[in-house]
Amino acid sequence: MRGPASLLPTALAAVLLLSACGTERADTRDGGPGAVTPTSGTQMTDPGIDGVRITSVTLSSPSPSPGRGHSVTADRLPGDSGISAAYEVTNRGTEAMTYTILVDFTDAAGRVMGNTRETVRAVGAGRSVRGTVGPGVVAPGSSSVTRAEIADVTRVPADEAPAEAGDCPSSGIRVFADEGDAAMGLRAVGLRLENCGSRDHLVNGYPLLELLDDNREPVDGVRILKGSGGITTGAGPDEAPEPVTLKPGETAIATLVWRNTTASGTPVTVPYVRVRAQAGADPVMVTPGLDLGTTGELGVRPWRRAPR
């Protein structure tokens, strides 16, 4: 995820000039039968970052605006920019990984005109996945998009990746992080536990956390506090944990709270957090991008039923 607190290292990737017209297909795995080589657009050979690279960018000519005597054709929806970037994700590791990539589409001055976050699931060791993304709707009158680049890459073990919305793990519980919030140096990210199964689920206490660095190794020197009162009073008074029974479709939330104040010392960043809803639960790895500054403290509030 990339919320207000996300300060993951920016991945420098291909800066691409758009110079041609055409369309491209997406989601061709492993370069096997059915693999598509873009037939138009600027082709790239940049090595990319963490095995993720842009291979080509295409800019289609805009369709005429609908008006008297004109109709919108099926190959261009209103507001569709006609711009796309083809990417390739190669897993050079030894286990299947799920990647989340952020592609920025910019103008000639480097201003971001649109971006797309794409999750590429379960890329096997030594294998590649290809796909195509667009910038979404580019507002009328905005500067023309001329470039695309990989802005962020995160990757987690495939068997620990948060389930997609609409998918339910065999446990019947889906754990994920929200977009977070920020105000006056105070940061907060919600961990959400959704009962996506068919029976009631009981949760009690605090989520169990492992803080991990860019290599998904433990981060030292951070105190995990039960409650947020030691960090701020702005999140309300600390409350003791209490059992929460979730019926199917209901959600609980536990909030991570911290400040990114920087004084003397070495700032600490935590790009990955391995979460267990409670002891014995399956781990889920989320990417809130915690920038703890030099405070060295992270507050965790207990599970509470989320407002409807």
Residue 3's pLDDT is 42
- 121 exposed, middle or buried (CB, 10 Å; 0-12, 13-18, 19+)? middle
Residue 45's pLDDT is 56
Asked if residue 255 lies in contact with residue 191, where contact means CB atoms within 8 angstroms, the answer is yes
Report the 10 Å Cβ neighbour count for 157.
16
Residue 308's pLDDT is 79
C-alpha span between 8 and 155 (Å, rounded)? 12
Residue 41's pLDDT is 62
SS3 per-residue string spanning 114-159: EEEEEEEEEECCCCEEEEEECCCECCCCCCCCCEEEEEEEEEEEHH
DSSP-derived 3-state class of residue 220: coil
Weakest mean pLDDT among 48-57, 89-98, 225-234: 225-234
Tokens 């702005």 label which residue? Answer: 234
Backbone torsion region of residue 54, taken as left when φ is above 0, otherwise alpha when ψ lies between -120 and 50, otherwise beta: beta
Confidence category of residue 263, pLDDT binned at 50, 70, 90 = confident
Residue 60's pLDDT is 61
- In this prediction, residues 170-179 reach a mean pLDDT of 94
The more confidently predicted of residues 21 and 180 is 180
User: What are the structure tokens assigned to 41, written together?
Assistant: 């657009």
The more confidently predicted of residues 146 and 220 is 220
Tens digits of per-residue pLDDT, 92-117?
A: 999 999 999 999 998 888 889 889 99
pTM of the model: 0.77
Residue 81's pLDDT is 65
Residue 184's pLDDT is 56
What's the full length of the chain, in residues? 308
Residue 181's pLDDT is 76
* CA 159 to chain CA centroid, nearest Å: 17
Weakest mean pLDDT among 86-95, 152-161, 195-204, 261-270: 261-270
The more confidently predicted of residues 290 and 147 is 290
- In this prediction, residues 217-224 reach a mean pLDDT of 94
Residue 106's pLDDT is 87
What is the percentage of the chain residues whose pLDDT exceeds 90?
Answer: 54
Residue 47's pLDDT is 63
Phi–psi pair at 157, nearest 5 degrees = -55, 135
- In this prediction, residues 247-266 reach a mean pLDDT of 90
What is the percentage of the chain residues whose pLDDT exceeds 70?
Answer: 73
Residue 7's pLDDT is 35
Residue 123's pLDDT is 98
Confidence category of residue 31, pLDDT binned at 50, 70, 90 = very low
C-alpha span between 110 and 148 (Å, rounded)? 10
Asked if residue 205 lies in contact with residue 301, where contact means CB atoms within 8 angstroms, the answer is no
